[in-house]
Amino acid sequence: AQKVTQAQTEISVVEKEDVTLDCVYETRDTTYYLFWYKQPPSGELVFLIRRNSFDEQNEISGRYSWNFQKSTSSFNFTITASQVVDSAVYFCALSSYKLIFGSGTRLLVRP
């Protein structure tokens, strides 16, 4: 069975703080993909990143970085120097043949 756990329901930070969103997954598949999506207050879902199970290299994109560790089945997302525009719900997702989402973490960045 597949499962994605985002234990942090809601996080509140002050602008310019760094924040890490946790994601832990379960799967028996050896080939799988991990994703992060952002859902701003407007409601649409925005793709942020995809990683495959064979690539544990961390990735950085501007203020965003992702840490994938197969040993702990985690795929954590860090926002450096957070901004108010980062306020959104962030979803981690796991895919082998079906894309399964975690319950999401609501991030509130206060000015």
Partner 1 sequence: NAGVTQTPKFQVLKTGQSMTLQCAQDMNHNSMYWYRQDPGMGLRLIYYSASEGTTDKGEVPNGYNVSRLNKREFSLRLESAAPSQTSVYFCASSEALTGGANTGELFFGEGSRLTVL
Q: Count Cβ neighbours within 10 Å for each residue of 35-65 and write b for 16 or more, e otherwise.
A: bbbbeeeeeeeeeebebebeeeeeeeeeebb
3-state SS class at 70 = helix
In whole angstroms, the minimum distance from the beta carbon of 37 to partner 1 comes to 8
Q: In the complex with partner 1, which residue's Cβ is closer, 80 or 106?
A: 106
What is the Cα–Cα distance from 36 to 74, expressed in whole angstroms?
Answer: 12
| Touching partner 1, residues 47-76 (CB under 8 A) | 47, 50, 52
By CB under 8 A, the count of residues binding partner 1 is 26
Q: Give the HSE-up count for residue 88: Cα atoms under 13 Å, Cβ half-sphere.
A: 20
- CB closer to partner 1 out of 15 and 48: 48
Other C-beta atoms closer than 10 Å to the C-beta of 73 total 17
20: contact with partner 1 by CB under 8 A: no
- Binding piece for partner 1, criterion CB under 8 A, among 17-25, 61-69, 74-82, 102-110: 102-110
Q: Which residues bind partner 1 (CB under 8 A)?
A: 4, 6, 9, 29, 31-33, 35, 37, 43-45, 47, 50, 52, 91, 95-104
